[in-house]
């Protein structure tokens, strides 16, 4: 059988052949070619330990195990593991996969905004969804220093950004934007190494301790300001 060499694991992997795929289709936990985002959304509705075996999207003709895990283990609630298959049998590659579709910024991997995370963010008033950056800036300029919005970044596809009304002494425009890093450690602002398990935890902390921000975040009663911007038909946030 011809093998595939996977450099990230320094191991040869036998590809999924017709016989193996036929066997897997007999079990309910094999999702076949279902898109990874669909698998994640389905697992997020299940209890911890729920799992799916699927065809990897980043490693052609390989298998992956996707598991609903505790948020203390992974802030997204989901972990993915490559399945190694060779002449010795099957085993898991212990380290979670970093899929090639993840943005790479300043030597840091960023997990993209998926359906599950966007659904969570729609529950908070400070998420502006797909609102254009200029509209966000205009709205923030009407607020006091510390007012903020979490939005979908226009410069980094499928990433989040924090926009804050700051003192003019810090930024002559009165607005500062910060990229939000999301990976297997949690969420953080680009630069510092302090991670948080969720976006609400991140903003709540910075409303008490500004850390590297020029001022503390201040919660604003946005009401339904961004309501029309959080419902769209994009599978992923659009890229301007």
Q: With contact defined as beta carbons under 8 Å apart, do 36 and 53 qualify?
A: no
Please give the average per-residue pLDDT across 84-102, as a whole number. Answer: 66
- Of the ranges 86-95, 97-106, 131-140, 155-164, which is most confident? 131-140
Structural tokens at position 116 = 């599950």
In a domain, 146, yes or no: yes
In a domain, 11, yes or no: yes
In a domain, 105, yes or no: no
Q: 82 and 122 share a domain?
A: no
Q: 120 and 75 share a domain?
A: no
Q: 67 and 121 share a domain?
A: no
- pLDDT tens, residue by residue, 43-86: 998 988 999 999 988 777 889 999 998 877 777 788 888 888 88
Q: Which residue from 148, 139, 156 is spatially nearest to 203, judged by alpha carbons?
A: 148
Q: What percent of the chain has pLDDT over 70?
A: 83
The H or E element containing residue 105 is strand 104-105
Range of the domain at 48: 4-93
Is residue 130 classed exposed, middle or buried when 0-12, 13-18 and 19+ CB atoms within 10 A define those classes? middle
For residue 22, count other CB atoms closer than 10 A to its CB.
9
CATH number of the domain enclosing 164: 3.30.505.10
In Å, what is the CA distance from 212 to each residue of 123, 144, 167? 27, 19, 14
- pLDDT tens, residue by residue, 105-115: 545 567 778 88
């Amino acid at each position: 059988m011809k093998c595939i060499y996977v450099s990230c694991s320094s191991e040869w992997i036998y590809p999924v052949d017709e016989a193996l795929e036929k066997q897997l289709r007999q079990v309910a936990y094999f999702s076949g070619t279902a898109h990874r985002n669909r698998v994640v959304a389905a697992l997020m509705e299940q209890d911890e330990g729920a799992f799916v075996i699927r065809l990897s999207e980043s490693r052609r003709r390989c298998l992956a195990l996707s598991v609903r895990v505790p948020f203390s283990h992974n802030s997204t609630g989901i972990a993915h593991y490559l399945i190694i298959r060779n002449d010795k049998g099957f085993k898991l590659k212990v380290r979670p996969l970093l899929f090639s579709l993840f943005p790479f910024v300043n030597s840091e991997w960023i997990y993209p905004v998926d359906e599950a995370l966007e659904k969570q963010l729609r529950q908070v008033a400070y998420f502006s969804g797909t609102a254009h950056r200029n509209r966000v800036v205009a709205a923030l300029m009407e607020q006091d220093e510390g007012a903020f919005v979490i939005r979908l970044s226009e410069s980094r596809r499928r990433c989040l950004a924090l926009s804050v009304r700051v003192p003019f002494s810090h930024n002559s425009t009165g607005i500062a934007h910060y990229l939000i890093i999301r990976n297997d450690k949690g969420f953080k602002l680009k630069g510092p190494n302090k991670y948080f398990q969720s976006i609400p935890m991140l903003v709540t902390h910075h409303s008490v301790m500004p850390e590297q921000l020029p001022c503390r975040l201040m919660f604003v009663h946005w009401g339904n300001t961004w309501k029309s911007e959080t419902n769209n038909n994009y599978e992923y946030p659009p890229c301007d």
